Amino acid sequence: MKNLIFNLFSLFVTFALLASCQQAEVEMAQETLKSVDSYQTLAQAQPLEEGIELPKGTQWKYTDASQTSVEFVLPQGYSFLLQDKETKAVSLAPTGGYSCTCSASGSCTVIFNNSAGYGCLSGTCTGKCTGQKTKGLKSNLEILGVLYTAQDDISYETAAKASLSAAGIEAFTQLPELQKLIQEHYDFVYGGGDLPDFPKGEDLVQLSEEDYVLAQSYFYGQAFQLLIPYSPDFSFFFPDVKLTAPGDAPKSCSCTSGEGKGCALKKVGRWTYVAYYCTGCTTCTMND
């Protein structure tokens, strides 16, 4: 009889322990899902990939309990520059994502480090982990950078700078709104008169410094240069504008980080409306 009571008691304790473990697992799962549903906010700008930085105030969270991908929501006034991998069409969006995929079995985990930014951890992956920055589930839309879209007109100064990859700089120059504003700006500056025959970047040295000057300009926070008529009064009315003599323009580009064949000055535009920009390496900028 004592053995029966002892066995029944042991069985009861076993069931109680199993129930307790199951409850703990449920609570842990609920806590994991809670952390997945909760956004975290970047206290400072953080690197993403290829010279791209996420601005301070960006919100991010894991999209699933396995932590294979994250979602980003940019602060107001910023947008991701996206490009369709197949059609090469460019677009803007306030949200984006980063995911890690495994080349074999298992899964990879997205990790975040305050100094290195986002990357991939092997997790249970038996192969190679590859990270990609995309527009959420739309993996055909690749993030090429972050634009400061609050500055939506051509200006000689900007409150915040864009952060683009080398491919992002090229894609930025194809934005229809930029090309339209370049045309409108030149129509105003040249008063509807004849425009110069804009040479290639390396051939700007052929232009007379007494007739033309390059003015540092911004759109969506991205720097480029506009060729405008030289006037001694320009610096008086716009003292903070960085002006560059045509012959010095190619030397104003510098490769500040990453890989590439070197930073070079290129021109972009449609018809006779042309602007100049730097490209050629991961972080290629005009010297401020």
Assess whether pLDDT exceeds 60 at residue 23.
Answer: no
Residues 106 and 200 in one domain: no
Tens digits of per-residue pLDDT, 196-227?
888 887 788 788 888 888 888 999 999 998 98
Assess whether pLDDT exceeds 90 at residue 10.
Answer: no
Q: What is the mean pLDDT of the chain?
A: 81
Residue 32 counted as domain residue: no
Tell me what pLDDT residue 22 has.
40
Assess whether pLDDT exceeds 70 at residue 1.
Answer: no
Residues 142 and 181 in one domain: no
Residue 72 counted as domain residue: yes
Tens digits of per-residue pLDDT, 95-151?
999 999 999 999 999 988 877 788 899 989 999 999 989 876 567 899 999 999 999
Residues 103 and 203 in one domain: no
Residue 11 counted as domain residue: no
Range of the domain at 44: 40-147
Residues 143 and 50 in one domain: yes
Tell me what pLDDT residue 125 has.
93
Q: pLDDT above 70 covers what percent of the chain?
A: 80
Residue 19 counted as domain residue: no
Residue with tokens 């290195």: 116
Residue 13 counted as domain residue: no
Q: pLDDT above 90 covers what percent of the chain?
A: 36
Return the sign of the alpha-carbon dihedral for residues 58, 63, 65, 67.
negative
Tell me what pLDDT residue 90 has.
94
Residues 100 and 136 in one domain: yes
Q: Can you tell me the distance from the alpha carbon of 98 to that of 168, in angstroms, rounded to the nearest whole number?
A: 17
Tell me what pLDDT residue 194 has.
82
Residues 167 and 281 in one domain: yes
Tens digits of per-residue pLDDT, 27-49?
333 333 345 568 899 999 999 88
Residues 183 and 97 in one domain: no
The better pLDDT of the pair 175, 265 is held by 175
Per the structure, the count of domains in the chain is: 2
Residues 238 and 271 in one domain: yes
Residues 64 and 94 in one domain: yes
Residue 118 counted as domain residue: yes
Residue 129 counted as domain residue: yes
Tens digits of per-residue pLDDT, 138-175?
678 999 999 999 999 999 889 999 999 888 988 998 89
Tell me what pLDDT residue 78 has.
98
In three state form, how does the secondary structure of the chain look? Answer: CHHHHHHHHHHHHHHHHHHHHHHHHHHHHHHHHHHHHCCEECCCCEECCCCCEECCCCEEEECCCCCCEEEEECCCCCEEEEEECCCCCEEEECEEEEEEEECCCCCCEEEEECCCEEEEECCCCCCCEEEEEEECCEEEEEEEEEECCCCCCCECCCCCCCEECHHHHHHHCCCHHHHHHHHHHHHHHCCCCCCCCCCCHHHHHHCCCCCEEEEEEEECCEEEEEEEECCCCHHHHCCCCCEECHHHHHHHEEEEEEEEEEEEEEEEEECCEEEEEEEEEEEEEECC
Residues 234 and 267 in one domain: yes
Residues 139 and 203 in one domain: no
Residues 267 and 184 in one domain: yes
